[in-house]
Structure 1
Amino acid sequence: MARFDTLRVTPAGALTLAGDVAPGAKVELLLDGTVIDTVTANDQGAFAAVTSAEPSATPRSLTLRVTGADGVAKMSEESLTVAPSPRAVAEAATAEGAAPAAVAAEVAAAQVLADKPLVTDASGTPRVLAGLSETLVIDTLSLAADGGITISGRGAPKGALLRAYVDTAEVGLVQAGAEGGFRMQLPAAKSGAHSLRVDALDAAGKVLARAEQGFEGIAPPPPAATGAAPARSRIVTISSGNTLWAIARETYGDPYLYVQIFEANRDQIRDPDRIYPGQVFALPGEATPD
């Protein structure tokens, strides 16, 4: 039976979905009846899709069409409500002349649904989508010039092991720090859209918490000419809870250097106190050695 596991939708419309179906099945994602992506489940039946959908000011329905080894396509019994984009809701309400208080109320309602997506089964019984942790957070995801990935985060349960996956492939394992923080160096991913997942595990391997984020892999640069200095450019994909202060502290070891990030990304940042999940910023200068 097809089952939704996790969902994340950024303000820009990047959509990351994971779930479980029959091993090796073809999975089509349908948004309001229109196919927006097709993926194949792995040998354990897990699938992950990273795609995009135009931000909407109204809720939409996401369903799955699953084709197994017998070639028979079946619709999922569950449907997932994709929350309206808070930004699109604000723009639509403002355009209609709504009072600021009314706009704020509509945005807050949209954010509640975005934070706790609802899945409805064939009987109409809803459940809050499980899988995304209330506390485990991926704070930073940065890409080196060669495509290598560095992630850091917080909120892991005490003593937990943290296992990282890119799409459905395991790529890293580390133990959480005493205060629940973690940092991992992961191998480069191919150019294109990917899904990063971090699971916090107890000693028996049970998943205690999970965080997930979409990102765009980058192609490694061509080999540098003899004697040329290697490229040092890095980028970071913003996730919920990020601040320029925290990113600067993580990247440079000095939070006051957030000004460098602000200046390098002025085309995207109007106010350094207001950055949004899904934005991708360049990180200028030298990073603190690991």
Structure 2
Amino acid sequence: MALLANASGRNNLIAFFAVLLGLALVLAYVFTGGEETLTPPPAQPELTADNQEEVSQVAPEFDLVRISRGGTGVIAGRMAAGADVALFANGVKIAEVVANEDGEWVIILDEPLEAGSVELNLRATDKATQESTEAENVVVVSVPERETDRFVERRQNGVVAVLSPKDGEGASQVLQKPGVAAFAEVGESLSVDTIDYGAGSGAVVTGRSLPRVDVRLYLDGQFVNSIRADDSGRWSIALEGITVAPGNHIIRVDQTVGDGQVQLRVEQPFNTGEPIDQSLAEGGVFVRPGNTLWQIARQLYGSGVRYTLIFGENSEQITDPDLIYPGQVFKLPPKS
């Protein structure tokens, strides 16, 4: 009997709490107007100026350029995954490809590039937003002259491809050199590839060496700066605060090992002409010692490849675009 009484008491207690729970649910339903109360989902972060950069589109980039003497070749680079990448040669679209899931793309040039100087540019379009961006750098390719069945130029004159900032500011990078040794090259591991200079200071020298070695740069025998080459052996040194006066100069580069012992050394003579007044871009220009058509076009028109405009305007006195002489006065086509 005692066990039955205890069991009955427990059952009554459980029933009592069940009634209280049911009453609480009824009251909650009444006071909320019969609507369910749901926990709101966490707020989504707003797109602000701070985090908008994370989803901004990436500009297309050149990674590899390999062009044969016949003008065909392979060009590869990077862009956001799934984007359409178009390749332009002197402003004309010649190929288009879609970047893969890793953002890599490859273009095979079946139709050869025209002989002479060709400026390659990239434009990419995001399929979702239809927004387009252009590469910050262009590649200028020099393809040997050729006829239908033979090359006009000697075999030693191979293809040169140089990556340069589109705005003309900053260092250039040689992507492809002819098969023969460069003028400034001694040995296999050290070379001066480009010397970019404008009016006054701001010159930049780039080249190649053994990977991860210290490179020292001298201008006319005076030490300028040193830097460590990257994992691929490329290096770039700016002549900050140094004015490169018009005239003949010599760049010297030392490749050092261990405790600073010089392993290899190269010297590259170069000549800087008088600064060109950009206000004369519509009119004429007087050729001074050290001037080249490429330099004049780059300073006045923003791109060295546009030297062909000056060449065409003055064909009666320029027989070879590589040979212009101090004292010549060239007519200049207007900027367009």
When normalised by structure 2's length, the TM-score is 0.31
TM-score w.r.t. length of structure 1: 0.36
For the pair shown, the structure with the greater C-alpha radius of gyration is 2
